[in-house]
Chain A
Amino acid sequence: MPTGREMLRNLRMLVARRAVERDLDDELRGHLEMQTRMNVAQGMTPEAARDAAYRVFGSMTYVKEELRAVHGRSTAPVTDLLGRDLRLAARTLLRHRRFTTAIVLILALGIGSATLMFSIVSGVLLRPLPYAHPERIVMIWGNLPNLNMGFQEQPLGGDEFRIMRRSTQAFQTVAAFQTQPFNLGTGVAPERVDGARVTSDFFRTIGVRLAIGRGFARTEETPGRDHVVVLSWALWQRRFSGDTGVIGTTVVLNAEPYVVIGVAPQTFAFPRGAQMPANFQFPPRTQLWVPMRPRQSGPRSLAVIGRMRPDITMARAQEDLDRITRIEDDRQPARTGWFGTRAVPLRTQMIGHVRTMLLILLAAVAVLLAIACANAAQLLLARLQGRRKELALRAAIGASSPRIVRELMIESLLVTALAGVLGTLLGMIGISVARTIGPDRLPRLATVRFDARVALIAIAITMLSGLLFSLLPAIGASHVQLGDALRRGGRRAGDGAAPSPARRMLIAVEVALSVVLLVSSGLLIRSLVHELGGDLGFEAPHGITFEVTLPPLSYPETPLATSTLHPKSVPFFTEALQRLRAIPGVDAAAIGKPLPMSGEQDGSSFFPENGDLRLYSGKQRLAAEYTVASPGLFHALGTPIVSGRDFSVVDQQTTVPVVIINQAMGRWLWPGRNPIGKRLKLGRLTTRSPWMTVVGVVENMKLYSLTQAPRPEMFVPYTQSPFPSFSTMQFLVRSSLPPAQILGPVRRAIASVDPTIPVARVRTVDQLVASVSETARFATLCMSLFGGAALLLAMVGLYGVIAYTVHQRRQEFGIRAALGATRWQIVQLVVRDGLRLTVVGLAAGGVLSVLAGWLLRPMLYEVSVVDPATLAGAGVLLLGAALAACLLPAARASAVRPRAALDDL
């Protein structure tokens, strides 16, 4: 819509142009007049004089054209020309509104999804981590290949970390950290916040500068001086309204005073759960950091990061770690071996587990974009065919071939630009949708946003698709055969112009690519169905789960192997369970740490008595999943006890230590024998831990993933658990009442035991299960959307071609009808034509989708790469869609009256 100012300017330009034209006229006319007068003076009659003058002068139009060219050169003819072409193109596109809309929507769909996927990949995979020299940060894990804990990243012990910190040559700094929930605040109902205990070099190693205040000093690792805390930006904003005066003030954490010394920068929440291995049980976001001194003994529980020196490569860093391992091995031959260590780039650690999925989705979206381009191209070809007569005519009266091609290209460009804008908008919407529905386990998703980089990506994608879709038709247009088209066009409009081979080929390609996407989404859906429908080993009971954290000051932890374990914690849990079970409507209440599917994973090495001797070859140590449980956990989960008994109130500190194992563990350790009554202990044979007697065998449960194979699991009663870290416990309350209704009484029950203990992380079991399958569901959802879009596009494309053919063959159908063909025969004719294209595409797509299935392998669960059911399903779906696309045109064809044969003659 031109503004007043613009209109005024246009008017002024118009006036100026008029003036120039008038001047040219005057000058040339003056010339003629003078010539005429001279001729008269030489004796001619006025008429003859004027004629002669004109003759000498030549074509007035020609001279004026030349003059305009001279002036044109100074008044930017290129923009003028482009402007004219653009206006022309816009007019043409507006005239064919339906065509334009269709093509813009199709391209926008492709561009939008590609932009969305590229933005996610760029934000998650490509953007550098927001730390100083992030490429130099690595995570260092324990690596004892013989110890099969079920996860690769094994934590380090305090002494191991201290030796590493002392003797490393490849690292500037190393820091250890572990998660620790805190109850923040005083008195009744404090807030539970997720924190981390970190060694003093933590912030230096990760490479962030605190927003305000300072990080930790080495001296603050010392107990007694370690009551200092760094707050996250979010916590600082929420609890202290962003007041900078917070530095130096005191906050209460777990009933102890801590001095605030710093606030982390805005986005910093490292370690985040989504970026760390599950067995460390990191919360989604860390909200505060306190210093820690690495413990001399105790279970290995430390995650370690290191910052490499600037000139050090990954390989050299690993060599340095191996060197430390060798020295320690030699120094302590009595030990069964120093823990080996393995360095992993932080980036790999954070995004490695979603990389494959994202790249597969990216490939899928590229295929979708290709389909959209093919569809747009064939639409363009169709319209070009419709315009053959017009183009041929224009070529005949002198429009140059490059000129026509240029016009078509400009039309395509305009369409692409429109589609690009719309597609980018779609992509932006998609980004915000993806951020809300995207899985928590997809790291950095929250930081994906529409920025300059994404804009560039969108522009690049738009240009690429514009090129892709307009190139073929433009080439076709430059070959418009003049005489041919005119002859046909002259007598019998459009007759015999069957869809070009290029167009048929495009349709077949479209169908083939759609098959690929449909098969891919089919495989993922079937895989997900297997995952969700698989036997979990427990029911997903109605009810809620939650966590409580006991502050160590009022619930002191006890060192290993003392006479009484957790003198205050155990009574708290026992009392809490009793009160929870007393709530009306509660069917069962139990403790499980970790609860299945809570996103956490715990493991322990152990030593079995009289086990299968083949297990002890070499230095091998055995390990199994380790869960602290209360009586009634299996009942609450609905897990059958196969043999033996559940824990009971009898199992106390003073009675015989007991353990329950799953079937997988029993078969592994004592194949063919009854495990009940067998004994095992945690750690190694030499470890000072008590022998535990197997009292029960339960069915295999899936604990941390829907796709995991059955693994050995052991369960130890909380009343006897020898692990000192006992502060956080997970509860499961089973009830048929709605979760919201049960939560209030649950909070009151816990508060009635100890009002200072908050109830945190309330989730339903369904939510737990859902969160574990989140990434798979996200991938399946995306792929299914792509597949559906592809199907729709293929259908539209096919419809376009068939409908066009039917329109072109009206006369033929009329003649056939006149000669006695039944309507059914004509329908068959049309449908057969459409199906032929589809079948060619299906065949090609079938072959391609085997390749796609092979690429999808890492994401498949209990589905083979070549899945006949999926292939057949995709085929049937496409054939059905093709049939549907043919039906309307076929009906139209069969309705052609014999008289139509005469209509256009």
Chain B
Amino acid sequence: MASSPDLLQGTLDLLVLKVLALGPLHGWGIAQRISDISEQLLRVNQGSLYPALHRLEGRGLVDAEWTMSETFRRVRVYRLTPAGRRCLTRETRSWHEYTRAVNLILQAG
């Protein structure tokens, strides 16, 4: 945990939206997926993940519903809403612009 880079404020939201764009998932799955895709470079602090999920839900960017897991537990599954999808597109574009700008500066003479 200590070695994982801190996620920039707001970046977590972007990652969650992106992961959910691939398909509905529960909280643990989202954390797992982020970790897998980033080849274990990024680890999501659970203390941030759930508040972020609930915040996104509050903003109407994700939907959540209770389903039954394969072990017959109640599981909360999150799903991207159309508004979330639009937000993802917008945020992705601005992320690219942002990183391009930072890279340009870092690569400067």
Contact = CB atoms under 8 A, between A and B. Distances in A.
B54 A63 contact: no
Contacts of A66: 47, 50-51
Given A30-B26, A70-B54, A58 B47 contact: yes
B25 to A, nearest CB: 11
Contacts of B54: 67, 70-71
B98 interface: no
B73 A33 contact: yes
Contacts of A35: 28
A31 B73 CA distance: 11
Interface string B29-41: 1011000000000
Q: For this complex, into which size category does the number of interface residues on chain A fall?
A: 20 to 34
Contact of B76 (A23, A38, A63, A71): A23
Interface centre among A34, A38, A56, A69, by most chain B C-beta atoms within 10 angstroms, is A34
Contacts of A31: 26-28, 31, 46, 50
A866 interface: no
A433 B54 CA distance: 62
Contacts of B26: 30-31, 34
Interface in A21-64: 23, 26-28, 30-31, 33-35, 38, 56-59, 62-63
Contacts of B74: 26, 30
A23 B64 CA distance: 12
A70 B55 contact: yes
A69 B48 CA distance: 12
Contacts, number: 58
Contact of B51 (A38, A56, A69): A69
Given A26-B74, A31-B28, A33-B73, A67 B45 contact: no
A74 interface: yes
A63 B58 contact: no
Interface string A513-542: 000000000000000000000000000000
Given A30-B69, A31-B27, A31-B28, A59 B55 contact: no
Contacts of B32: 38
B76 A58 contact: no
B89 to A, nearest CB: 25
Given A56-B46, A58-B47, A30 B28 contact: yes
B50 A63 contact: yes
A73 B32 CA distance: 28
Given A56-B46, A58-B46, A70-B58, A30 B51 contact: no
Contact of A74 (B46, B58, B66): B58
A62 B48 CA distance: 10
B77 to A, nearest CB: 10
Interface in A61-94: 62-63, 66-67, 69-71, 73-74
Across the A-B interface, the 5 shortest Cβ-Cβ residue pairs: A34-B28, A66-B51, A31-B28, A70-B54, A63-B47
Interface of B: 1, 26-29, 31-32, 45-47, 50-51, 54-55, 58, 66, 69, 71, 73-76
22 contacts: A26-B76, A27-B27, A27-B50, A28-B50, A30-B27, A30-B28, A30-B73, A30-B74, A31-B50, A33-B71, A33-B73, A35-B28, A56-B46, A57-B46, A58-B46, A59-B47, A66-B51, A67-B54, A70-B51, A70-B54, A70-B55, A71-B54
